[in-house]
Homo-oligomer: A and B are copies of this chain.
Amino acid sequence: MSENKPIDFYFEFASPYGYFTSLAIGDLAAKYGRTVNWRPFALGAVFKITNSAPNMTIPMKGEYLYRDIERCAKLMGAEYKVPKVSPMNSMAAMRAFYWLSDTDASQAVPFAKAIYREHWGRGRDLGPVEAVAEVASELGIDGDALTAATQDPAIKERLKKETQTAIDRGAFGSPFIFVDEEAFWGNDRLDQVEHLLRTGGF
């Protein structure tokens, strides 16, 4: 196990379980001397490969999930409000994230956390770029520059590339976590992540 290699945390902003992991992964990694490499990716591209769809749109599963999310939030003590729009279109938020990564890296993770908090914690629809820019402004990020960046072909290409990398590594859901080369799917696998970090293997 490489002591200092960051943990790769792949996530979709429209995913509630990605939200829950976003609240815990930093502390978990730090406990074992690791950092976290945050990587939003477009789950829609995965669904074409797995012939699947967002959980909330699947008959039976959809209705169940909202109750499960509510219970998970309660057990974690996490803020939660049913989003106005779900699944949210996360394209603008993802592109903004990678633009920040390149231009003002220290703001990227606080931005991702704020998007998750506003969407899953407070129910806000962050599909429209105006709403994303507003959340960013509260962190002191230039909303106009962000809005322009989401239409920048290089940023669009960057997101596609990151998504393809995630898929090539086997990520098919959110959250998807890599500790070195070991892959974990789901917030409910953080116990396995911790087992690996603590013991060095399975």
Contacts and interface: CB of A to CB of B under 8 A. Distances in A.
A75 B195 contact: yes
A60 B202 contact: no
A74 interface: yes
A144 B188 CA distance: 44
A189 interface: yes
A99 to B, nearest CB: 28
Nearest to A172: B60
A151 interface: no
Question: Quick one: copies of this chain in the complex?
Answer: 2
A30 interface: no
A68 B170 contact: no
Which range contains the number of A residues in contact with the other chain?
20 to 34
Interface stretch (A18-26, A50-58, A89-97, A105-113): A50-58
B183 A67 contact: yes
Interface string A127-153: 000000000000000000000000000
Contacts of A63: 170
Nearest to A61: B172
A58 B67 contact: no
Contacts of A192: 71-72, 75
20 contacts: A49-B60, A50-B58, A51-B59, A52-B52, A52-B58, A60-B170, A60-B172, A61-B172, A61-B173, A64-B172, A64-B183, A64-B185, A68-B184, A68-B189, A70-B202, A74-B202, A75-B191, A75-B192, A186-B188, A188-B189
Interface of A: 46, 49-53, 58-61, 63-64, 67-68, 70-72, 74-75, 167, 170, 172-173, 183-186, 188-189, 191-192, 195, 202
